Structure 1
Amino acid sequence: MQTHPVLPTVRPELTFLQPIPRHFVHRAAMAEVFVTDALQLEEDRFLVAAQWPRDHSLYHPDSLGFSDPLLIAETLRQASFYLAHHRYDIPLGHRFIGFGLSFEITDRSALHVGPIPLPVVLETEWHRGQGQRRLSEVRLDAALSIDGRPCGRGSLRLAAVDERRYRLLRRRGAHPGRDGAGQSTPTGERLPAQRVGRLRAKDSVLERSAEGGWRMRADLDHAILFDHPVDHMPVMAQLEGARQLGHLLTAGRTAGDRGRPLALTRLDLDCLAFAELDQPVDFAIREQQPSGTGVRLLLDLRQGETTVATVAMTWSAAGAEA
């Protein structure tokens, strides 16, 4: 009979006992903290440990039992914030501005959920001053392994600024309250959760616009996407909208002789502007074409005439065997 350790580790120096303090990763709820530890290897190189839950109300396993790929994006975000505060002494009051995020799953079978939470390790490298923007951009590159098995890679680009400079950049005061005054007014019907790959009605963030396109319908009271008050649409909320649209556009497509459903295996996000809460975010499909055993999608996220972000996704069934 196969046995499983209660607290698996890849290296004894890395522990999976409990999450780090939630303020280090800008989360209000302790249950949403996935990063657990970090170990410095060399200057600007770290191992970051995380633990993914066997189940989650939003980031739940798919119908084949594989972990939600957006857990990679959220773990990259948390790892970057934790290293910035804990290892590079960026004050906790600073604001982070995201420029881009990408990840690729190279061995999807490693993401299969078993009888214990998945032990995740990111082997990371911190790059400073790589951007050409006015703000000082940093980049965290990571190689992902689960239970010692290499299975992907990712990268996050961001900048940290103090509150004064952030308000100058935003040209506005404090964030709007949660009384609904800062939200855009829904214009259509929210899509049923099952059509966008979610389990709960409240987790669907897509609606059909009056013009027949696709639009974000995110609820500021959503306990995960809006874990704490914000003054713009968070990156993870934008990614959730893009992922749900990708699920909708690829639903019913299969690949391989087993007819496996397609899943998100690669994503590249480029943030171009702040997405405001009081304006609708529309999705424009720029590209939708076959790619290997799957489909490649290229989306623009727009507010009026402004493109606030672009998202490229690959949906495939490669490596789906458990």
Structure 2
Amino acid sequence: MSTPLRYATTVDRTLLHRRHAGETFLADLVPTGDGGFVAAALLPPAHPHYGGHTGPSRDLDPMLLLECARQAETYAAHVLFGVPAGDRFVLREWSARFPVTAPGDDPTELELTAGTGGETRIGGRLSGLSYDFGLWARHAWVGQVRMDVRYVTAAAYASVRRRARPGGDPPPSSDGLPPTPGVPVDPRRVGRLRATDAVLLDVGAAGGPVTARLRVPVENPSLFDHAQDHVPAMVLTEAARQLAVLATHAWGGAGPDRTSLVALDATFARYAELDLPLTLTAEPVGAGPAGWTVDVRCTQSGADVATARITVAAAHRSPR
């Protein structure tokens, strides 16, 4: 944690696959040798999406930390490891751990320390890498993120996507996608202030497993910063978090305004299509001093798209 880092401005957002400056957080990245690096991110003092919580996550949203790690991975892949600009990034799995209570005083600078491993190559081209991040704010540990990412050429990606589609039809674009039909969840049931940040529809919580359908939030620039031909992993992860928060309250846990994400382990098996219904099902794994642990399955057309194990815990806003 001794490498000097610059926090004056953010990096070229095109190398982060971002369209909007307000969704760009990475400020610097410096290699440390043996495939490792350190990176700097600017944490916004107020953000409409990452700050839009009724509970403690509005102080330092774990999903914002996850997004900072994703941006560091994307930038490093292009700048340090030579992944061409036209290649497509495929997240296979990620996991994260966060403290129950974030440090006080609204930190604005995040330092990320990263190691890499599991390198794979095809014909000399980097085709996969795993990353292990430690996250620090004001010299306090605020999280750990691990991810396994694959890099494929645009032609290979297009072929895979077309084969996966019903009838081999090309996938639609999220730009101009009509609203997902269904009854939106009350944002406060999932710890959110605004309807645009709530991504669940048709919630069923009559005992036992809790179910919902995904609302594809194409109007939300934090979740759909640019055009996509599938539902991104960040959206599926946010949906799993929201369902876990809602479900644990229904099962007798703390309310959404007192609940924080402390752990997640997610695997992505196939692409989630934008134009097909996607169902999420939450089942309890256990409850204890560390919080509630919930398994969430995301299914589409009878197959698992993604699975996530989410742990949420009762927390309070850090003292000021």
Shorter chain as normaliser: what TM range? 0.7 to 0.9
For residues 211 and 148 of structure 1, do their structure 2 counterparts lie closer, same or farther at Cα, with a shift above 3 Å needed? closer
**Corresponding residue SS for 1:194:** helix
For residues 126 and 106 of structure 1, do their structure 2 counterparts lie closer, same or farther at Cα, with a shift above 3 Å needed? same
In structure 1, stretches of 5+ residues that fail to align are 1-9
Q: Which digits, 9 at most, give the CA deviation of each residue in 1:93-124, with x for residues without a partner?
A: 111011011110146332x353xx52111110
The answer on 1:119 being equivalent to 2:119 is: no
Q: Distance in 2 between matches of 1:29 and 1:304?
A: 33
Pairwise mapping of residues 1-322 of structure 1 onto structure 2 (< 5 A)? Answer: 11=2, 13-60=4-51, 63-64=55-56, 66-106=59-99, 108-110=101-103, 112-114=104-106, 117-129=107-119, 136-171=127-162, 173=170, 175-176=172-173, 178-180=175-177, 185-186=180-181, 188-208=182-202, 213-251=211-249, 253-254=253-254, 261-317=258-314, 321-322=318-319
Q: Which digits, 9 at most, give the CA deviation of each residue in 1:263-308, with x for residues without a partner?
A: 1111111111100001111012233421324100011000021100
Q: Distance in 2 between matches of 1:190 and 1:318?
A: 26
Structure 2 counterpart of 1:253, one-letter code: G
Report what 2:165 is aligned to.
none
Please say which of residues 172-181 and 265-274 is displaced more in the overlay. 172-181
Contact 2:95 2:146 in 1 (8 A): yes
Please say which of residues 277-286 and 135-144 is displaced more in the overlay. 135-144
**Corresponding residue SS for 1:220:** coil
Report what 1:4 is aligned to.
none
**Corresponding residue SS for 2:283:** strand
**Corresponding residue SS for 1:226:** coil
Structure 1 counterpart of 2:194, one-letter code: R
Q: Distance in 2 between matches of 1:165 and 1:89?
A: 18
Q: Which digits, 9 at most, give the CA deviation of each residue in 1:35-59, with x for residues without a partner?
A: 1101111120111111111221111
Q: Which digits, 9 at most, give the CA deviation of each residue in 1:227-264, with x for residues without a partner?
A: 11110000111111111112212347349xxxx92311
Contact 2:174 2:218 in 1 (8 A): no
CA shift at 1:321, angstroms? 5.0
CA shift at 1:180, angstroms? 2.8
CA shift at 1:11, angstroms? 4.7
Contact 1:62 1:68 in 2 (8 A): no
Q: Distance in 2 between matches of 1:150 and 1:239?
A: 22
Higher relative contact order (Cα pairs below 8 Å, separated by 6+ residues): 2
**Corresponding residue SS for 1:268:** strand
Q: Distance in 1 between matches of 2:204 and 2:316?
A: 39
Sequence identity of aligned pairs in percent? 29
Structure 2 counterpart of 1:198, one-letter code: R
Q: Distance in 1 between matches of 2:94 and 2:174?
A: 28
For residues 62 and 86 of structure 1, do their structure 2 counterparts lie closer, same or farther at Cα, with a shift above 3 Å needed? farther
Please say which of residues 309-318 and 285-294 is displaced more in the overlay. 285-294
CA shift at 1:34, angstroms? 1.0
For residues 167 and 113 of structure 1, do their structure 2 counterparts lie closer, same or farther at Cα, with a shift above 3 Å needed? farther
**Corresponding residue SS for 1:244:** helix
What is the CA RMSD across the aligned residues, in angstroms? 2.7
Contact 2:136 2:142 in 1 (8 A): yes
Structure 2 counterpart of 1:297, one-letter code: V
Contact 1:264 1:316 in 2 (8 A): yes
Query: What is the TM-score with the length of structure 1 in the denominator?
Result: 0.85
